[in-house]
Amino acid sequence: MGFTLRFQDKVAIVTGGSSGIGAATVQRLVREGARVLIADLNPPQETSDAVAFHRTDVTSPTDATAMVEAAVALFGRVDVLVNNAGIGCLDETPDLDPVVWNRVFDVNVSAVFYVCRAAIPVMARQGGAIVNIASVSGLAGDYGFTAYNASKAALINYTRSLALDCAHDGIRVNALCPGTVAGTAMGVGAHGSAADRQAWLDPIPLGRMGTVEEMANIIAFLASNEASYMTGSIVVADGGTTAHTGQPNIIAQRARRREEAAGKV
């Protein structure tokens, strides 16, 4: 059976596509036939006939409109929009500065609205798919992540309401909630230090962090026609972390007790 290029003749915009999960998504979409506009503050490592860079601050509604116009000028259409640009924030109330809180909401929530507002009229010409990159941090709370938790939760519910409003235009809207993903600039800041590594690994039942390629696989699926009956879905890829209630791991506890009883520890 032949391998189909799921994005042949399709055009995608990937915000934050110069780094991490976004960069892996660009590679994946291009490998499957897409032409991609990267909208980021920083340029990507390389561009090609299939990959263009448009310097964009997604927190600017004017930049968001210019980004969509650039995609149409270069490639003629927009079929896929991946709202991936995001920033982290490790801080806690009451010490969290309101300026920082607002910046996190600007990038992680308001910017997604600005970009969708600009892209939807163009995407509606033929239909398409929007994939918002949220986080498991939007599904429950974390210690010391207040603004990030609240912003990603807002993005998740924006995804649902947008899915309703866009259905009649043939535009599907879904969100991916990654768990802990290794090797990105944001990830290195949050969980990259060797000293903290085990604490980040402990709650992950699969015992390892996710990779950017694993996230790109799911984003490409949600953006493709294979997901044609999915809209308003919140897809979790976290190695099992959020399957857990937070109760202690009694299997590990029993094993430790057996080892203690056998005099091994």
- Catalytic residue set: 148
Rounded least distance, CB 58 to ligand NAD, Å = 4
The C-alpha atoms of residue 194 and residue 197 are separated, in whole angstroms, by 5
Per CB under 6 A, 135 contacts ligand NAD: yes
Distances (CA, A) of 208 to 216, 228, 248, 265: 17, 31, 19, 25
Among 6, 28, 40, 64, binds ligand NAD (CB under 6 A): 40
Rounded least distance, CB 186 to ligand NAD, Å = 3
Per CB under 6 A, 187 contacts ligand NAD: yes
Per CB under 6 A, 178 contacts ligand NAD: yes
**Cβ nearer to ligand NAD, comparing 33 with 183:** 183
Q: Is the peptide bond before 61 cis (omega within 30 degrees of 0)?
A: no
Q: Is 158 exposed, middle or buried (0-12, 13-18, 19+ CB in 10 A)?
A: buried
Residue holding tokens 């600009």?
Answer: 118
Degrees to nearest 5, angle at CA 221 with 114 and 16? 35
Per CB under 6 A, 81 contacts ligand NAD: no
Per CB under 6 A, 204 contacts ligand NAD: no
Strand partners, 129: 80, 172
Among 80, 122, 181, 219, binds ligand NAD (CB under 6 A): 181
Among 5, 73, 185, 206, binds ligand NAD (CB under 6 A): 185
Residue holding tokens 């110069």?
Answer: 18
Segment contacting ligand NAD by CB under 6 A, of 14-22, 91-99, 194-202, 227-235: 14-22
Among 146, 159, 174, 184, binds ligand NAD (CB under 6 A): 184
Segment contacting ligand NAD by CB under 6 A, of 97-105, 185-193, 196-204, 226-234: 185-193
Per CB under 6 A, 133 contacts ligand NAD: yes
Distances (CA, A) of 59 to 16, 86, 108: 12, 10, 9
**Cβ nearer to ligand NAD, comparing 124 with 233:** 233
Rounded least distance, CB 239 to ligand NAD, Å = 11
Q: What part of residues 85-114 is at the interface with ligand NAD (CB under 6 A)?
A: 85-87, 107
Segment contacting ligand NAD by CB under 6 A, of 39-47, 92-100, 195-203, 226-234: 39-47
Per CB under 6 A, 220 contacts ligand NAD: no
CA dihedral 177, 183, 186, 192 (to 10 degrees): 110
- Nearest partner of 32 among 235, 225, 186, judged by Cα: 225
The C-alpha atoms of residue 93 and residue 150 are separated, in whole angstroms, by 12
Contact 205, 244 (CB under 8 A): yes
**Left, alpha or beta for 258 (phi > 0: left; psi -120 to 50: alpha)?**
alpha
Per CB under 6 A, 239 contacts ligand NAD: no
| Binding region for ligand NAD (CB under 6 A) | 15-16, 18-22, 40-42, 56-59, 84-87, 107, 133, 135, 178, 180-181, 184-187
